[in-house]
Amino acid sequence: MSEIFILVTILVFTIFLVLGIVSHFKRTSGKWIFFTLSALSFIVVIFMLFFQDWNLFDQSNNIKPPKVETPASGGQNNGPDPVKEEPPVKENPPPENPSEEKPDNPTPETPEKINVPADKLVNYQVEKGDTLYSIATRAEVTVVKIKQWNNLKSDTINVGQILKLYGSNIEPPPPAEPPKQDPPPTTASSVLISNGSLQKKEIALTFDAGSDAAGIAILDVLKKYNLKATFFLTGKWVEKFPNLAKRIADEGHEIGNHSYSHPDALKTPSGDFKQDIIKAEQAIKTSTGKSPQPYFRFPFGSYNATTLKTVGEAGYRYSIQWSLDTIDWQQPTTEVIVSRIKAGASNGDIILMHIGGINTPKAVDTVIPWLQAQGYQLVTLTELLN
């Protein structure tokens, strides 16, 4: 009821205030009476508001909870049964050691890196799930080195087997190759080869040298990754850049014969073509001290049965073609060369590039780690064909 009284009083205050204002503007005599009554009404409203603790419209303070008699008080409760509060549900307490809490689907642990100090030898015991490639990756060495260090003839390893891993400062030199002797003259045709085994993740990088040395920085890139490749040199290039030819040989790369003057074999008499091959071989031996046999590569990739017989008579058992051509001699951008390799790379590939490619070194520097990340081993032609 007090709320209704306050509302009525406010209404009265408003009416008196309006009448006083009207009387003031009409200059009648009753304006002060109306203002006085309006002020009294305002005082009453203020008093009632304080009396109600300023909760004029809050009805919740006026609602008293029903009294619930419990059996212990002895009273009777004819109303609905009181609602019993359930005890709060306790959440599972956190484990004492949060690090011991195991997720439902644990993430497989990444194999730890194999630490091989530069001046020490580490005997690593093969564990279940190990492969030569995974061990080489974790130890930051090549599969070829692990096989050399442990005299392995294949990629097969067994659980419990001990593998020797040498530090970079004490690793033994690669086994010395027996001196190569030129095979006796033969009438057998040279065997044409375009790729290695399609079952092995191996790729051979090959580079032709015919005109200039704009991309000779390829040697720096291969040295950076400790890789060996195969270079097919023409006799004229060797005579023009004898120091570079010797550097290729001294850094352990394989060398093949790419003819002396880069003629088209299909347009050159057999006798002249054979002499061109022999002349190139002599120039290569003079500059490098090594024979380019048994590998020959046709200029322009141009050949037929007759030219294969001519190459065989010159002492070259294998005529090496390619399965992936970067066409870098046209001087495309680095990105184009890289995209061609990424799009076409597959098991047993022989990739064709050129020392004269201006953007070839940068492309090779980009693509080597990508190929290795795909699981490919970058090898020489001899390793690929074996």
What are the DSSP calls for 236-266, one per residue? Answer: HHHHH-HHHHHHHHHTT-EEEE--SS---GG
Q: Residues 231, 355: contact at Cβ < 8 Å?
A: yes
Closest CA relative to residue 210, chosen from 364, 351, 354, 323: 354
Q: Strands, E, within 66-193: which ranges?
A: 121-125, 162-166, 191-193
Bridge partners (DSSP) of residue 233 are 209, 257
DSSP reduced 3-state for 194: coil
Could you say which of 130, 208, 276, 365 is catalytic? 208
Burial class (CB in 10 A: 0-12, 13-18, 19+), 157: middle
Residue 145 in tokens: 């080195």
Catalytic residue check, 24 = no
Catalytic residue check, 354 = yes
Could you say which of 253, 258, 262, 354 is catalytic? 354
Q: How far is CA 140 from CA 135, 166, 202, 322, 368, in A?
A: 8, 11, 18, 30, 15
**Active-site residue set:** 208, 354
